[in-house]
């Protein structure tokens, strides 16, 4: 038998693996490179194709939006996922991206499984793969976060599994009962076993000279833990907190790969007559990043451990599926900002504001100036939602309220600009920024007014950090392709998150997702 690297004997790969690293900034590929092994990130860069200048083409840069964009090749204006949460004016209620009251939890008690992809308006590349062969392909989504499993797996997936209280669960959208193999996997209580081990650094702590050990005042502790220093005494966290605290540990990433391997084994992925698809999202990186920030030893250690997990997973795929018989892509749903207090300590601009306080202030100003009580419903996703019915019931002008709010927002030191979203083409914005805002605006789900912030600013508290804006620290993400059908190399031309689905569709010779606006990264594929 003769198999050339990157190609199987068949016309398509046996398995496609999508690997989305939640909150992975592009620079992490290189920042920690001197401490990475040769078989993880370095193998993907060395033997795969890297689109080095891949950007997110919309705002806000949040988890649900990023996963949806990668797998639909679309943007919020088209696929309907405008945030992790939004306010639905027609239904007069707040909506979580994967909420679905018509389905039930499978695998545990409670409402954590009342989820489905119903709020996603377009198909995904995984849907299109199933459509291409009359649903013969198996598609499974896996992530600690429900939105990280459900949205990539698409509408027609065989299964999507997410984490709840130490167990993998799903919803009746996919099945009525957990498969026996999932129940047996849950019985092992791996999270409990992992939490029995304290988290110390993988290497001697002196080697972590790319991170700061003196910024602890800016960081948040792991749930149930009093100290924020190494070693993190995970074994002392109470039984009531440990399964939630588990999310904020590198072991949760290992646990996700454990389950991904179990899915491949028990669902016989890659042994089909057609291509199967496994969509895996690594979520603990996001929880650690929010708590400790991108300049922490915790995040550096998490990525060193993730590098080893990826190496282990690639070696597993080589053995199980066959070297050259699978295609894997690696990307991220968004990046992350530095903790503003850390920036300030180093004389770099940055800061925070509180959206709740700002909403109260704006409502007070509208009431004082125009006599309208509770004129604004909410402020989320860096957008203001007006309480239309309330304003009209008081016989007041929506236009006057909008103008007053826009003026008040512009007066804030940390805000550069504010504008009515349905008049975005008239706003004084750089052309590239206007396109990002247009891509993120959906008239049925977005707010009425949007505002842009100075670099380094975000809605948050004095500790920890977050993401959500258009700036490169939130929007510049890795984009790697590896394996069957991929030509090793790299490009520095500007590419976009939307291009991933388009490139996979071209490689697999299937239709692009129904809302896809991405372009094929031609250099990456045969």
CATH code of the domain containing 208: 3.40.720.10
Same domain, 106 and 248: yes
- Total count of domains within the chain: 2
| pLDDT of residue 2 exceeding 70 | no
User: Which pLDDT belongs to residue 8?
Assistant: 46
List of residues 6+ apart from 499 with CB closer than 8 A: 51, 54, 73, 479, 518, 519, 520, 521
Residue 113 lies in a domain: yes
CATH number of the structural domain spanning residue 357: 3.30.1360.150
| pTM for this model (two decimals) | 0.96
User: Which pLDDT belongs to residue 1?
Assistant: 30
Same domain, 259 and 331: yes
Determine the average pLDDT of the residues in 483-502: 98
Report the SS3 class of residue 206. Answer: helix
Same domain, 157 and 90: yes
Same domain, 188 and 238: yes
Pick left, alpha or beta for residue 484 (phi over 0 → left; psi -120 to 50 → alpha; otherwise beta).
Answer: beta
Residue 464 lies in a domain: no
Q: What is the span of the domain harbouring residue 419? A: 351-454
| pLDDT of residue 4 exceeding 50 | no
User: Which pLDDT belongs to residue 105?
Assistant: 98
User: Which pLDDT belongs to residue 16?
Assistant: 98
User: Which pLDDT belongs to residue 10?
Assistant: 58
Same domain, 100 and 221: yes
Same domain, 147 and 82: yes
Confidence of residue 5 (pLDDT cuts 50, 70, 90): very low
Residue 246 lies in a domain: yes
CB distance 477 to 40 below 8 Å: no
The residue from 454, 480, 498 where one domain ends is 454
Residue 141 lies in a domain: yes
User: Which pLDDT belongs to residue 216?
Assistant: 75
In percent, the amount of the chain with pLDDT more than 90 equals: 92
Residue 460 lies in a domain: no
The residue from 454, 488, 504 where one domain ends is 454
pLDDT in tens, 25-64: 999 999 999 999 999 999 999 999 999 999 999 999 999 9
User: Which pLDDT belongs to residue 215?
Assistant: 63
Give the up-direction half-sphere exposure of residue 190: CA atoms within 13 A in the CB hemisphere.
Answer: 19
- Round the average pLDDT of the chain to a whole number and report it: 95
- Residue 118: C-alpha distances to residues 62, 103, 172, 279 (Å): 19, 10, 13, 18
| pLDDT of residue 361 exceeding 50 | yes
CA dihedral of residues 366, 446, 352, 375 (deg, nearest 10): 10
Structure tokens at 263: 């899915």
Same domain, 379 and 493: no
The residue from 397, 430, 454 where one domain ends is 454
Among 99-103, 133-137, 229-233, name the one with the lowest average pLDDT: 229-233
pLDDT in tens, 211-264: 987 667 889 999 999 888 899 999 999 999 999 999 999 999 999 999 999 999
| pLDDT of residue 13 exceeding 60 | yes
Same domain, 330 and 368: no
Same domain, 335 and 355: no
Same domain, 478 and 502: yes
Residue 29 lies in a domain: yes
User: Which pLDDT belongs to residue 236?
Assistant: 95
User: Which pLDDT belongs to residue 526?
Assistant: 83
Catalytic residues: 63
Residue 2 lies in a domain: no
CA dihedral of residues 500, 164, 467, 21 (deg, nearest 10): -40
**Phi and psi, residue 212, nearest 5°:** -105, 130
Give the up-direction half-sphere exposure of residue 382: CA atoms within 13 A in the CB hemisphere.
Answer: 30
User: Which pLDDT belongs to residue 9?
Assistant: 42
Same domain, 339 and 355: no
Residue 164 lies in a domain: yes
Same domain, 328 and 383: no
């Amino acid at each position: 038998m003769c198999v050339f690297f990157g190609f199987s004997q068949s016309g398509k790969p046996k398995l496609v693996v999508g690997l989305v690293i939640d909150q992975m900034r592009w620079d992490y590929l290189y920042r920690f490179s001197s401490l990475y092994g040769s078989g993880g990130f370095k193998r993907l860069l060395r033997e795969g194709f890297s689109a080095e200048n891949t950007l997110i083409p919309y705002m806000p840069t949040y988890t649900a939006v990023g996963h949806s964009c990668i797998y639909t090749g679309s943007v919020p204006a088209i696929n309907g996922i405008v945030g992790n949460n939004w306010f639905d004016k027609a239904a007069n209620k707040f909506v979580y991206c994967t909420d679905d009251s018509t389905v039930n939890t499978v695998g545990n008690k409670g409402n954590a499984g009342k989820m489905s992809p119903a709020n996603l308006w377009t198909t995904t590349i995984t849907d299109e793969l199933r459509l291409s062969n009359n649903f013969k392909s198996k598609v499974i989504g896996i992530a600690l976060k429900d939105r990280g499993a459900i949205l990539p797996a698409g509408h027609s997936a065989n299964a999507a599994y997410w984490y709840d209280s130490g167990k993998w669960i799903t919803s009746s959208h996919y099945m009525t009962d957990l498969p026996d193999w999932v129940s047996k996997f849950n019985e092992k209580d791996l999270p409990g076993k992992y939490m029995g081990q304290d988290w110390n650094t993988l290497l001697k702590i002196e080697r972590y000279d790319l991170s700061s050990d003196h910024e602890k005042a800016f960081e948040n502790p792991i749930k149930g833990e009093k100290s924020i220093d190494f070693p993190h005494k995970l074994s002392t966290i109470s039984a009531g907190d440990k399964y939630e605290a588990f999310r904020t540990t590198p072991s949760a990433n290992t646990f996700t790969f454990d389950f991904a391997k179990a899915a491949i084994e028990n669902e016989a992925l890659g042994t089909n007559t057609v291509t199967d698809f496994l969509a895996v999202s690594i979520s603990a990186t996001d929880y650690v990043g929010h708590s400790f920030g991108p300049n922490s030893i915790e995040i550096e250690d998490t990525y060193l451990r993730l590098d080893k997990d990826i190496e282990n997973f690639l070696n597993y795929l080589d053995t199980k599926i066959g070297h050259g018989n699978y295609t894997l892509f690696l990307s991220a749903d968004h990046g992350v900002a530095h903790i503003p207090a850390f920036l300030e300590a180093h004389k770099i601009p940055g800061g925070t504001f509180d959206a709740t306080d700002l909403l109260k202030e704006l409502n007070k100003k509208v009431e004082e100036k125009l006599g309208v009580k509770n004129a604004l419903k909410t402020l989320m996703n860096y957008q203001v939602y007006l309480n239309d019915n309330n304003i009209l019931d008081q016989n007041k002008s929506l236009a006057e309220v909008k103008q007053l709010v826009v003026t008040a927002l512009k007066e804030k030191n940390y805000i550069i600009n504010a504008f009515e979203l349905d008049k975005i083409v008239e706003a004084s914005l750089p052309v590239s920024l206007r396109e990002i805002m247009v891509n993120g605006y959906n008239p049925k789900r977005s707010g009425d007014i949007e505002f842009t912030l100075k670099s380094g600013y975000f809605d948050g508290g004095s500790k920890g950090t977050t993401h959500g804006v258009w700036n490169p620290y939130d929007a510049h993400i890795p984009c790697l392709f590896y394996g069957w059908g991929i030509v090793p190399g790299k490009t520095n031309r500007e590419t976009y998150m939307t291009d991933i689905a388009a490139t996979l569709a071209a490689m697999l010779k299937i239709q692009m997702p129904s809302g896809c606006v991405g372009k094929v990264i031609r250099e990456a594929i045969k």
